[in-house]
Structure 1
Amino acid sequence: MSNNTAVVVGGGIGGLAAAIGLRLVGWNVTVVERAAVLDDAGAGISLHANGMRALATLNVAEAVEATSRRQYTGGTRTPDGRRLAMMDGAALERELGTPIVGIPRADLHRILRAAVPPEHLVIGSEVTEVTDGKDKARVTYDGTTLEADLVVAADGINSKVRRRLFPSHPGPVYAGSTVLRAITDRPIEGLADDFALTWGHGAEFGHIGFPDGRAEWHATLNAPAGLRYRDPLDEMRRRFARWHDPIPALLAATRPEDVLHHDVNELVTPIPSFAVGRIALLGDAAHAMTPHLGQGACQALEDAVTLTAALAATTASSSATKTTIATALTRYDAARRPRTLTVARDARRAGRMGQQLTNPIAVGLRNAAIRLTPPGAMVRTVLKHADWTAPRITPTPSAA
């Protein structure tokens, strides 16, 4: 390892990916996570080609693929089961050379966690102070202060580091939707679609299949912020009782205690920069977006790899290629801010034209437009966000 040191604040998907990447290029990294158990909360996740390419750069894509189910079949339907659009995952894989996969978030987190030595993980400790100095940054937690050449703020949508750096920023706002989700506790018989969405009026139901036959489902609803149900699963069974198969079967195969319920919040107002001094922000701390394109985690993975590539030059052996941390973070910000702004804006629009639409005439017009859209155009829509090329990273000899 080099003498360069980094502290990653937050041990979620983006934070762990950043730690893996920085270790690959020779940095000494410590991850500080406030949760007492390092296990990413959530149900299931789809990883598009861009996310898988980022994971391949971090040398963990093979393990992820072995634990996931490739998404070839499915699409979008109406509540009575009529097809609006077919998913052609095989065409996307041919175009991109990388499949879309579905995986439980806990499995993805476990794979990333295994790539960081336990002695570099500080669990159950909340960071209370982050300061940026000319020569070093400092991170304080539980009465301990670490000095580092770099701090990576990966502390989520309610990032304390972001608030400290940009105290006048309005922070996250409610996006108008709330989401309930769970993983079934047993395999679903005859689950034909690998991935599916159903759009009603102000409501969406989707599922992701897993290799063992179980599935993740999510229900996204227009609702006032903070709305909660006395019995969430019973409410979902009632709400979606007349929707097409396999929706009732997915809900029937779910235990009440497994249902998660979160409001959808996003950073509508962009932050001025993803880097301030020796501090870099990534993932939801930098650009929290709505889930309507399934790109949140993929963008965090892109952040981690792009940050790694920019900082690799700070450990270069040749003075001709070596760069400063400040220059590296400027490059990172320039590469990531425009792309994530575009993806976040498109996700917001997708929600407004998809799940959040309630006017019956507008819903009918949207459905007709989707049915008339050629399959090639649908593929190009996905490619707009998924066709990302990861920067090349050369691991240091010690990391290899």
Structure 2
Amino acid sequence: MLHQGTRWVMRVSRLRAFETDAGRERFVAAFEDRQLTASASRLSRWEYGHSRGSHRLLRAYEEGTGLEPYLLFAVNDRQRRIAEDRFAGEPSVDVVQAVEAEDVYEILDRAVTARPVSGSDWYAMAAFAVANGYFYLTPANTRLLARRLIVELARSIGTGYLLRFEALHLLASMSRLDNAMLDELTAMISAGTTGMFGDAVSLILRSDPEVGRKLAEQLRTAESPVARQGYEWITEILRDRAPLPEPLLDRGEVAARREHLCQDLPAWAEAHLEVEVTKPLVDNALGGRSRLVRHEASLLMMTAGVQDAINGSLLDAFESETDPVWRTRLANLNEYLIPPPDPERLETLALAEQDPEVRRALWNSRAHARIPIEPGPGVLAQLADPTAQGGVTMALGLSGSIDQQLLDRPELEDVRGMLAWWRSQGPALRL
């Protein structure tokens, strides 16, 4: 958003530059360098506030008119803080900080205008926002970023998922974004769309309990049946912040299974991921009493490529296991094998599985392979089952397996909206 004072400086500076042919040529060249059009109509729309500005536009004006670098940026930044009470006390960015932030603001411009943003871009922007109090996000931009990041997280696989997950975790931990994030979550829950993004919304609520409490209060008094159902879901998530302790597994059993899985670690893994580091990660991923501990250990293993070395034995260990707790742990760990080693085998196991949590984990793992799924009788039966349809729908969507024929099946009326959404988004995002 370009504030009035900024637009006045832009216009006056441009008119002065246009007094000479050399000044006009310099201005047009600065715009061309930044892939912008310096036509009279476009300039007029920016300068009179009829078109949204961007960091790239401000930099083009600065270069094209001979203003000090980042002067327009600092002027606009100061006005935004005055307009928003919560940020009025934050110091405005200085030139050195602006140089460091230039790439981040360019990412922000892309993120709020629906242009491509990779997982690494999301993470860079979120990490910068947390580390630098002067990085300003308007409430409107926060809502845009929250919705887009939640949707993209649901569609990501591999490192793209990992980076977006961490970016959302960082942004959700910033208390100064509470109100805007709260508004967006309320709208999503009221619209009944959160079933597709449940993990992402749960992450936000766990990161900041105050957001969860405010959201629950809003939904508790709502008239919409969907919103009232959302209230029950939110309160369940908040209760789960302090769940009853999960079973304490025998450490000897954990060690035995770890040794079985790690026997396939090749020499390169032992050389680059010291065994003293790798084995505790496997211990935590399998035996941690906290879901968060297991999740973080599994993410670290995925990032380091450890799972690539144990994928030959992980599904074997799962299939041979009879204890329900261990089957669940092994299935959850398999979700971090990206891409999965044997998609067809995963699909067969998921179709035969009766436990909802294990089945969800198997389908989630299958979703990370962009290989089409044939919607045969078993898949259709699970699509019609409320306890199974979430994982199956995601796997079909991320693998690009949803066509009009599937959408038209009469027995899938209850899940048709979710299938249509996944189809509209296209296959999974890898980056």
Which has the higher relative contact order, 1 or 2, with Cα contacts under 8 A spaced 6 or more apart?
1
Larger radius of gyration: 2
When normalised by structure 1's length, the TM-score is 0.23
More strand by share: 1
More helix by share: 2
When normalised by structure 2's length, the TM-score is 0.22
